[in-house]
Amino acid sequence: MKMKHLLYGAAYYHEYMPYDRLDTDMQLMKRNGMNVIRIAESTWSTLEPADGVFDFTHLNRMLGAAAKYGIQVIIGTPTYAVPTWLVKKHPDILAITHNGQELYGRRQNMDITNPHYRKYAERMICQLMEHIKDQEHIIGFQLDNETKSYDTAGPNVQAAFVNYLQKQFADIHEMNQAFGLDFWSNRINTWEDFPDIRGTINGSLGAEFQKFQRLLVRDFLHWQAEIIDRYRREDQFITHNFDYDWRDYSFGIQPEVNQFETAAFMDIPGVDIYHPSQDDLTGAEIAFGGAVGRGLKKSNYLVLETQSQGNLSWLPYEGQLRLQAYSHLSSGANSLLYWNWHSIHNSFETYWKGVLSHDLEENYIYRETVQIGAEIARIGDKLVNLRKKCDVAIMVSNESLTGLQWFPISRTLAYNDVVRWLYDTFYRLNIECDIISSEDTHLQDYPVLVVPAMYSAADETLKRIDAYVAAGGHLLTTFKTAFADEYIKVAADIQPHILHTCLGVTYQHFTVPQKVSLSGSILKSNPAVTEWMELLVPDTAAVWASYEHPHWGKYAAVTHNRYQEGSATYLGCYFDGNTLEDIIRQLWTEIGLPLSDFQFPLIHKSGINDDGKQIDYYLNYSEADISLTLDSGYRTELLSGIKIKNGESISVKPWNLVILEY
Amino acid sequence: MKMKHLLYGAAYYHEYMPYDRLDTDMQLMKRNGMNVIRIAESTWSTLEPADGVFDFTHLNRMLGAAAKYGIQVIIGTPTYAVPTWLVKKHPDILAITHNGQELYGRRQNMDITNPHYRKYAERMICQLMEHIKDQEHIIGFQLDNETKSYDTAGPNVQAAFVNYLQKQFADIHEMNQAFGLDFWSNRINTWEDFPDIRGTINGSLGAEFQKFQRLLVRDFLHWQAEIIDRYRREDQFITHNFDYDWRDYSFGIQPEVNQFETAAFMDIPGVDIYHPSQDDLTGAEIAFGGAVGRGLKKSNYLVLETQSQGNLSWLPYEGQLRLQAYSHLSSGANSLLYWNWHSIHNSFETYWKGVLSHDLEENYIYRETVQIGAEIARIGDKLVNLRKKCDVAIMVSNESLTGLQWFPISRTLAYNDVVRWLYDTFYRLNIECDIISSEDTHLQDYPVLVVPAMYSAADETLKRIDAYVAAGGHLLTTFKTAFADEYIKVAADIQPHILHTCLGVTYQHFTVPQKVSLSGSILKSNPAVTEWMELLVPDTAAVWASYEHPHWGKYAAVTHNRYQEGSATYLGCYFDGNTLEDIIRQLWTEIGLPLSDFQFPLIHKSGINDDGKQIDYYLNYSEADISLTLDSGYRTELLSGIKIKNGESISVKPWNLVILEY
Amino acid sequence: MKMKHLLYGAAYYHEYMPYDRLDTDMQLMKRNGMNVIRIAESTWSTLEPADGVFDFTHLNRMLGAAAKYGIQVIIGTPTYAVPTWLVKKHPDILAITHNGQELYGRRQNMDITNPHYRKYAERMICQLMEHIKDQEHIIGFQLDNETKSYDTAGPNVQAAFVNYLQKQFADIHEMNQAFGLDFWSNRINTWEDFPDIRGTINGSLGAEFQKFQRLLVRDFLHWQAEIIDRYRREDQFITHNFDYDWRDYSFGIQPEVNQFETAAFMDIPGVDIYHPSQDDLTGAEIAFGGAVGRGLKKSNYLVLETQSQGNLSWLPYEGQLRLQAYSHLSSGANSLLYWNWHSIHNSFETYWKGVLSHDLEENYIYRETVQIGAEIARIGDKLVNLRKKCDVAIMVSNESLTGLQWFPISRTLAYNDVVRWLYDTFYRLNIECDIISSEDTHLQDYPVLVVPAMYSAADETLKRIDAYVAAGGHLLTTFKTAFADEYIKVAADIQPHILHTCLGVTYQHFTVPQKVSLSGSILKSNPAVTEWMELLVPDTAAVWASYEHPHWGKYAAVTHNRYQEGSATYLGCYFDGNTLEDIIRQLWTEIGLPLSDFQFPLIHKSGINDDGKQIDYYLNYSEADISLTLDSGYRTELLSGIKIKNGESISVKPWNLVILEY
């Protein structure tokens, strides 16, 4: 979905304010150039203080003020936190999870399949939509927020799961075979005998239940989208705020939602991206999160939430907030909304600070938003709807992530660590990547396909990858790929399953590396092998690296294979990112792709804007000036308006950037 | 309450003895000069073996033997551990907590508000009191023991909590506003909708419940005091054994009891103090614990429990038990009771050893108690009722402690760490401190008021502090002070709230220090700033230290402000204790208070005795001799009886002390 | 029980196979010389897919194929994992433990005393036995598998426990006294008042319940043995697969079973031994596990499970699988069964790999089993039924292990650490040890008795040890021995209780060593004392080591005492194994026992075979060649068939061995 202009704004909670200052806030937003607020999500108890009693006072005031100041509005459905009266009336709304039944208190504690919850949520949404349907400045709707299944696993959910299995497996014995339920007498001989799923130790059955829980999320958001559809105008979009695997910040692929499937119900996907800052600001999370957002519908995306001051250690140095803003835009974001406008004075997120601190006064963060707003007003239309063309696609899979939760690679290396190991290395080398689903059928759009640890895959997926290579694609894949099927059943033939021909390598054994290092002529060092190693036996493949070890030295570690029109590179073990850079450089040379002159901390990102012009961002994630000399053509530096000639050097200041237009 | 003589003795459990040796024990106590035993607490199941069947055999024998040997007795009410038959009869007595209902087994597992528990406990206490009322040598009563709420949070307690809130907030909407319950739809629109408090994620509501639980403790002990009052003679005191925040030893302010409020029902407060020993014996816990005990009623206090051999790593070196004894007395303790007389042969506290080891024979610890006892007999009357006069008061607050549990400063720095950071630094500098409540209205008694991390405070408290400074007081306060109100609602105006004028400093931002150090001309080093830093902007204040950092260098870290007749010093970040010493020395110079010639490990503590004479303790917490030269007047060293002239040097031996009387 | 030949094979699960390959597997087993498979345990849901419906298809096929290929069979009763239908029908089968009621899913989640479980299990076993009774090649039966109580502690179990106590204590007051239940009002005055045992904090009562749970295991296996007895032929043995305290591998004495008592119902005990491999392969776990297996009935034993590829980090280097095989045989094992034949493709133990990897093809592990099988075929009959004669017995005690769980030595040093500290030091010195029960009455069979940390012991046990020394035995014992009685009640007289005369030493105090080291003329170094130290006062004993410390230096740390005809050595503290070697060498010199010329990594183990010949194994657990010169007599090296003369050197290759026959 194309946008007319970049959206720039913040989540705004008039309900949480310690005193009335709506007009003051709107004036401050006007001054920093904000053009949108995101409101209403999580405020059910304010909108419906008692069963069937609706009170739109706060909403009306916010909508009125926004209209008065020419600010657009995104309305979030308020369903991810339930009011006290509803739980008192229907305690069954609280999800029963692996840890028992939830207590009232936190958000996201409900059974999203519960009929009472659904009935009341639908009435709430309909009342809300009825109430606001004539408001011109409402530009779109966010369904719920960061929806998950919250591990709902009560009797009703388990009954639905059995029903789901019955549809998949006409014959229960097929299911027993697919999941290997004979093991430890777990066999289920009639559907009536189905035990409480929460106790299962069978990875296949357990992973299937987690997949089913992801489907509940998809269906829930589909249901909400259909309700909104009854009311919305054609020009109003539907979005959702997708988030990531959380490791104190947005780290990897979201385990609990199949976002690719679920984004089908959105006009444009939204994401929230939180990341380290200060000395740890690298732009990697923003780029990774953006690649996911961009991949969900192969389109631009909205940043519906990102940090301004954020959590304690994220307070940005001067300049960093602005650098972060352009980091998002250079990945194809069409919006930049802070969470949130003002710091909150009570409850749980008091120290997840907004643009304004608790004093609600101007501060250096706010002053930086003024600069950003002014620049967006000036050059934003050259930056919106940026189309990106990447040589590399990284293929990800919820099923593999889940599979490697049941059967971990090691105590510390999870699926998303492998994804980020690859992504971040490309990032440092200034090779931009798309992120695609394992269901993607347009692999041929990319010269290079990267497949990290795709532990669980259906045969057809692996065959699709094989065909991609045969037709001239270049595959880079890792240990653990092509090991188990879609039911997490390990293949009973040669490993890597199906792909061994294309990869030109097989293995029968793997172990935990202890005092093992990697050696190979293409490597600049002999790094330690850690976490995992497979004892590779090359068939047709060339050996790019071997193990240094008295006993494992005879086995290959990294191989490269020409296969029909393409090539396939296999990383049989885990090691440091610098060495991975060596291997990628070698691969790029082999397959004739160009390498950037620059590397992290100077990050180069580019795309084509609505005018068909190439836009090049050079972003400096460091404390030092970096000098940049470009060798072809005239460009305009958009922020300064200065024209730069061929061969002329420009300086990219610390925590700063330049934007060049051809 | 003044005492005639120092109390010296131990907890004694005849019930636990593997064989009868009452007479032997009394003889051993006679020999080591003990004059009191503390009995009966925790023995309900012995005193009332079946419902309504009372058996005072053990008690009678102990009282008889004590009388025979001229030993006084403190009776503890036996209510902190319930008998099996009572729980079998009324299972509802077991508290329902955040972790579900307690099982029978450990002590302190009951709902202290439970009517069945109260009924049976009252009958037990009354029977006990009836039985012993004529015993002359019973000098006092200890109510229960180390009472807490044990997190009782069952339906009855929650109903009482709602009732309590209804009294505080006539209008439920005021409560919603005070606690910020709009957040995440937690709003409660009618009292009937009140959800299970155990699930709340709202820090304001949660902290209020913890405050309510503290009130339950106060009311419980008040109720017990009233029962005892019906029976006791005028000369018999009521006390309670208060304890501390526990970190494998007595560390800080007790989070679960407002001891200042609760001590109102005692004639004299009692405490139990446990601390590291051997090379880790510093005296700091004894002094800190004593300062709390002394502060509860601004009086002397009883040490009702302290270690003899104690826990495994606490076995004292020779001399340390005696040093510990005088460490207590020098803080104003009027008693010294060991927990316990003999090591116990079964159950839970087998390795929390007594004066006697499990062999119940004399040993080197016992022999040291003989020496202590002889000295107390000789000079104890010069040491009892020591009145202390401190220049410094440290103000503490349960609400701030709780608030910083909900909103931690960092993963490792809790409220009590900040309290001890300040207390221990003063201790090392030989500046004696009192500890006072945030409700204290006699601030003007102290030249210096120290306020560590008072995160939660009512406006009137902050105004009281402001007025104190205006009137000539010297305030030393830290980061996080004056940030949130009594409901843990963050102030929505300039920080530090209310105090910023007096402090002459404001701030809008804070962060986690990473590679930040402190610099200032008054500092001897450039220590790392850790855990927390506020970006201070001085207004009228002088900057005593700044941050060394490329971006935060422009902000102040430690400031000092002259304000009307007084001064106010602000520590905006956390750093090491040595640097805090530098700052305190500078402050003492500024405000013209004298600094001691000595520092830890030679600790100087003093007070005025009943004869109006100044008593000076010099305690050596080290393995080395320390030479001490005093420059004015004649003194008597009380332990040796030697007179010391002006300018004469005396040696304080390792783990030893001298006591000087003017 | 003597075996005709060594058993060599694997656990085989035809039920778990992804496709039918029974014939292929049997052919592969024929080729590697395997002669036995262990089947049926854990397959109840396959054998009885619905209530009363029995399906022996898989069993029949396996038995048929085994018969066809001349492979013997051990049948396991399938009772340690229950079918789904049974739990659906009788949910009470799932054990109620300290953590609440189990969910269905994992194995070993049932209440082994539950009447429904017992009834159905008995029917299953009977049906199975009826079905197979005529099969000639079934050589024995394994009862259940690694049976424990699984912490079953529901109301029925607790009622049985009270019944058990009533039998032990005619008078409830005796019980109160034995367990010290007066403490914290835990006294139980009538049996009806008995509280939920799960809440107890009384170590004596808690430990007694754990002892009772061990009795449940004994009784359960006794019950199964009686069922099997109704059906089995005289030539068919009954065994059980005993396991060990688990620390990611088989580490120490099993806490939850009294294996000595329980082995009474077996013809021959079986064990499963898992251990580190690669650089961490030392043979110590194999030797220790073997010593336990050998000790259970003072006989040879079966290795019913051990690793082939095993868990991730255990993949053996080439040669190690064979070295492991002989490591078992040299300890007296009469069988070698891998767990398991093939790696499993689903569920829980997917990465606990078998002889075959998931591809089910030959691999280097399989090829090594071919070599092992060929050697066993050739020389196995000289190795079977190896009789061993050790100079040293190590006495172990479940009660002490449990006692030290309730009253830990330190945070990291548990009972089994002390056992292994001693065992492993003897192992490194090539002093072979038996492991015996604390109930053993044949102490005089051993010149040296080692008693590690026997915290809990009845007086008669201690007197038996005292008598052993008096009669000429040499006792080596450690801290914590002889401290508490069989009810974990600490002795109220001189420590070490009863043994102090024999040891010639007493102590009244102990502590945690901090900056303490050990010194003594017999020691090669001054090691740190860690974890625990007792302040020993020698009476008649000589001091072999003292503490180096300003205050503890006056106490002894290690003592040696001549007592009547024997001697008693006491280790009063914990230190490193090298220093323990010094002490054992000194002791061996004192008591005139010979020390080996070799030490780890060259391990020497020996025994007498059925021909009455001495068999000497020299096993090299290292990467280096070790040269071996033997000084008396001719020998045949059995693996090579080469004769070796007196004084001739032979080389033991890395991860290899020689076997010498006189």
Beta strands in B165-249 (DSSP E): 237-239, 241-242, 245-246
- Helix C203-229 / helix C115-132 crossing angle, nearest 10 deg: 30
| B660 phi and psi angles, rounded to 5 deg | -110, 135
Phi, psi dihedral angles at A571 (to 5 degrees): -100, 105
Which residue is associated with the tokens 């309290």?
B419
Across residues A421-444, what is the average pLDDT?
A: 98
Confidence of residue C390 (pLDDT cuts 50, 70, 90): very high
Q: In the predicted model, what is the mean pLDDT of residues C408-425?
A: 98
Helix (H, G, I), strand (E, B) or coil at A106: coil
Strand B474-478 versus strand B566-571 pairing type: parallel
Q: Where are the alpha helices (DSSP H) in B330-431?
A: 364-383, 398-406, 415-428
* Owner of token pair 């793997």: A510
| Pairing mode of beta strands C505-511, C573-574 | unpaired
Contacts of B165 in chain A (CB under 8 A): none
Sign (positive or negative) of CA dihedral B75, B77, B80, B86: positive
For chain C, give the mean pLDDT.
Answer: 97
pLDDT higher than threshold 80 for residue A566: yes
Dihedral sign, Cα of residue C51, residue C57, residue C58, residue C63: positive
Distance, CA of B396 to CA of B393 (rounded, Å) = 10
| Residue A581: burial class (beta carbons within 10 Å; 0-12, 13-18, 19+) | middle
CA pseudo-torsion sign C97, C103, C109, C113: positive
Contacts of B179 in chain A (CB under 8 A): 346-347
- Mean local confidence (pLDDT), A456-474: 98
- For the segment B139-156, the average pLDDT, to the nearest whole number, is 98
Task: Give per-residue pLDDT as tens, A247-303.
Answer: 999 999 999 999 999 999 999 999 999 999 999 999 999 999 999 999 999 999 999
Q: Does C128 touch chain A (CB under 8 A)?
A: no
- Average pLDDT (A165-190) is 96
Is 80 exceeded by the pLDDT of residue A466? Answer: yes
**Helix and strand counts by DSSP (H, E) for chain C:** 17, 31
What value does the mean pLDDT take over residues C620-633? 90
Q: What is the DSSP letter of A223?
A: H
Cβ(B427)–Cβ(B603) under 8 Å?
Answer: yes
pLDDT of residue A133: 84
- Cβ distance A514 to C84 less than 8 Å, yes or no, reads no
CA distance to partner chain C, nearest, from residue B358 (Å): 5
For A190, B306, C41, C111, C119, the CA distances from C79, given in Å and listed in that order, are: 21, 55, 7, 12, 11
Taking 80 as the threshold, does the pLDDT of residue A631 lie above it?
no
**In this complex, which chains have at least 3 CB pairs below 8 Å with chain A?**
B, C
Cβ–Cβ of B204/A278 closer than 8 Å? Answer: no
Q: Is the dihedral of CA B117, B119, B120, B122 positive or negative?
A: positive
The pLDDT value given to residue A124: 98
- The confidence score (pLDDT) of residue A95 equals 98
Tokens of A574: 């885990």
Best of B186, B406, B532, B549 to disrupt the A interface (most A CBs within 10 Å) is B186
C302-307/C270-273 β-pairing: parallel
The interface predicted TM-score of the complex, written ipTM, equals 0.96
Smallest Cβ–Cβ distance between A195 and the set C104, C348, C351 belongs to C104
Using the predicted structure, report yes or no on whether residue A633 has a pLDDT greater than 80: no
pLDDT at residue C635 greater than cutoff 90: no
Peptide bond into C594 cis (omega under 30): no
pLDDT above 90 for A372: yes
End-to-end, the C-alpha distance of chain B in Å comes to 25
Contacts of C186 in chain B (CB under 8 A): 45, 81, 84, 105, 347
In Å, how far from its chain's centre is CA B290?
A: 7
Q: Which of residues 102-121 of A touch B (CB under 8 A)?
A: 102-107, 109
Give tens-digit pLDDT for C506-531: 999 999 999 999 999 999 999 999 99
Tell me which residue of B531, B551, B552, B555 sits closest to B541, measured CA to CA.
B555
Residues B477, B481, B483, CA angle at the centre, nearest 5°?
Answer: 155
Across the interface, do B312 and C511 touch by the CB < 8 Å criterion?
yes
| Interchain contact, A84 vs B203, CB within 8 Å | no
Q: How far is CA C184 from the centre of its chain?
A: 37
- Best interface-test mutation with B: which of C185, C187, C208, C498 has the largest number of B CBs within 10 A? C185
The mean per-residue pLDDT over the stretch A54-74 comes to: 97
C-alpha distance from B538 to closest chain A C-alpha (Å)? 15
* pLDDT computed for residue A592 by the predictor: 97
Of A488, A492, A551, the CB nearest to C360: A492
Tell me which chain B residues have a C-beta less than 8 angstroms from the C-beta of C509: 309, 315, 357, 363-365
Please indicate whether, in this complex, the C-beta atoms of C509 and B364 are within 8 angstroms of each other: yes
Q: How many CB atoms lie within 10 A of CB B130?
A: 11
Contacts of B349 in chain C (CB under 8 A): 183
Put simply, the answer to whether A195 touches C103 (Cβ < 8 Å) is yes
Cα gap C453→B467, rounded to integer Å: 65
Q: How far apart are CA B545 and CA B538, in angstroms?
A: 11
The answer to whether the CB atoms of A187 and C84 lie below 8 A apart is yes
Å from C192 to nearest chain B CA? 8
Where residue B321 falls among pLDDT bands split at 50, 70, 90?
A: very high
**What is residue C474's predicted lDDT score, i.e. its pLDDT?**
98
The tokens describing A651, both together, are 């300086």
- Please report the DSSP string for A409-443 in residue order: SSSS--HHHHHHHHHHHHHHTT--EEEEETT-S-G
Q: Is the predicted pLDDT of residue C633 greater than 80, yes or no?
A: no
**Banded model confidence at residue B580, pLDDT cuts 50, 70, 90:** very high
Residue A234 tokens, joined:
């054609």
State the pLDDT at residue C588.
98
A34 burial type by CB count under 10 A (0-12 exposed, 13-18 middle, 19+ buried): buried
Q: A196-217: per-residue pLDDT in tens? A: 999 999 999 999 999 999 999 9
Q: How far is B418 from chain A (nearest CA, A)?
A: 19
pLDDT digit string (tens) for C288-331? 999 999 999 999 999 999 999 999 999 999 999 999 999 999 99
pLDDT at C632 over 90: no
Q: Can you give the pLDDT at residue C112?
A: 98
Interface touch B204/A347, C-beta < 8 Å: yes
Distance, in Å, from the CA atom of C51 to the CA atom of C135, rounded to the nearest integer, reads 26
Residue type, C168: Q
Residues A75/A39, Cβ–Cβ less than 8 Å: yes
Helix/strand/coil for B633: coil
Q: How many helices (H) and strands (E) does chain A have?
A: 17, 31
Residue range B364-376: average pLDDT?
A: 98
Q: Rounded to an integer, what distance in angstroms lies between the CA atom of residue C395 and that of residue A56?
A: 78
Q: What is the pLDDT of residue B646?
A: 82
Nearest CA in chain B to A101: B199
B219 three-state secondary structure: helix
Question: What pLDDT score was predicted for residue B631?
Answer: 77
B184 touching A (Cβ < 8 Å): yes
Stated length of chain C:
662
| B241-242 and B270-273 strand pairing | parallel
Which of chain B's residues have a Cβ under 8 Å away from the Cβ of C195?
Answer: 84, 87-88, 103-105
The one-letter code for the residue type at B507 is: Y
**What pLDDT, on the 0 to 100 scale, is given for residue B411?**
96
Q: Which residues pair with B303 in a beta bridge?
A: B271
Chain center to CA of C384 = 20
What pLDDT is stored for residue C336 in this prediction? Answer: 98
In this complex, the residue of B50, B103, B349 whose CB is nearest that of residue C198 is B103
| CA–CA distance, B478 with B419 (Å, rounded to integer) | 10
The Cα–Cα gap between A231 and B605 comes to 78
CB contact under 8 A, C182 and B87: no
Alpha carbon C554 to its chain centroid, in Å, reads: 40
The C-alpha R_g of chain C, in whole angstroms, comes to 26
For the stretch B196-218, what's the b/e string if a residue is b when 16 or more beta carbons lie within 10 angstroms of its beta carbon? ebbbbbbbbbbbbbbbbbbbbbb
Please, what is the average pLDDT of chain B? 97
Report yes or no: A538 at the C interface, CB cutoff 8 Å.
no
Q: Do A199 and C43 touch (CB under 8 A)?
A: no
**C311 min Cα distance to partner chain A (Å):** 9
Neighboring chain C residues of A551 at a CB cutoff of 8 Å: 278, 317-318
C171 interface with B at CB cutoff 8 Å: no
Above pLDDT 90, what percent of chain B? 97
Q: Which amino acid is at C531?
A: E
Kindly state the average pLDDT of the residues A584-613: 97
Q: What is the pLDDT of residue A622?
A: 98
B 324-383 residues with CB < 8 A to A: none
Residues of chain B neighbouring A49 (CB-CB closer than 8 A): 187, 189
Query: How far is residue A338's CA from residue A316's CA, in Å, rounded to a whole number?
Result: 13
A155 touches chain C (CB under 8 A): no
CA distances from C296 to C211, C212, C354, C435, C486 (A): 18, 20, 28, 8, 21
Among residues C206, C170, C201, C175, the alpha carbon closest in space to that of C188 is found at C175
Contacts of C351 in chain A (CB under 8 A): 407
pLDDT at B372 over 80: yes
Mean pLDDT value of segment A1-19:
95
Asked if B91 has any chain C CB less than 8 Å from its own CB, the reply is: no
Q: Which two tokens stand for residue A464?
A: 């699709």
Mark which residues 217-276 of A lie under 8 Å from B by CB: none
What is the band of B630 on the pLDDT scale with cuts at 50, 70, 90? confident
User: Does the beta-carbon distance from B509 to A315 stay under 8 Å?
Assistant: yes
DSSP secondary-structure letter at C654? T
Residue keyed to tokens 């010389």? C33
Tell me the chain B residues in contact with residue A348 when contact means C-beta distances shorter than 8 Å: 183-184, 201-203
Confidence at residue B632, expressed as pLDDT on a 0 to 100 scale? 72
Q: How far out from the chain centre does Cα C377 lie?
A: 28
Give tens-digit pLDDT for C233-279: 999 999 999 999 999 999 999 999 999 999 999 999 999 999 999 99
- DSSP-based three-state secondary structure for C368: helix
| A52–B contact, CB cutoff 8 A | no
